[in-house]
Amino acid sequence: MTNRHTTLRLSDALVRKAKLYARKNDLTLTAVMERALSTYLTEGQKRRSKKPFTLPTFGSGGPLPGVDLDDTSALLDIMDGIE
């Protein structure tokens, strides 16, 4: 594995958190950044590889003729059997 020196611009708050994490876990700042980036990239791959979730539909897939989905009061009346 080749090590490269790279300059990153990170917020002071993020660097402080990473350094604190490194100290608490007896790691170098480089090790923390490598693990974090590796985890981020791996998790992103897992999310992209999942099949999209689709909800099942029933019937024709649309509202009945004359039903206005933007009219909440009318929808409640229809569901209650008052037309």
The ranges assigned to domains in the chain are 12-49
Query: Tens-digit pLDDT profile for the chain (83 aa)?
Result: 678 888 989 999 999 999 999 999 999 999 999 999 999 998 876 666 667 778 777 766 677 777 788 888 888 888 887 66
At 24, the amino acid letter reads: K
> For position 83, what pLDDT does the model report?
60
Residues contacting 20, CB < 8 A, separation 6+: none
- Long-range contacts formed by 37-42: CB under 8 A, 24+ apart: none
> For position 55, what pLDDT does the model report?
77
Report yes or no: 33 and 19 within 8 Å, Cβ to Cβ: no
pTM metric for this prediction: 0.51
Look up tokens 């950044």; give the residue.
33
Show the tokens assigned to 21: 């994490």
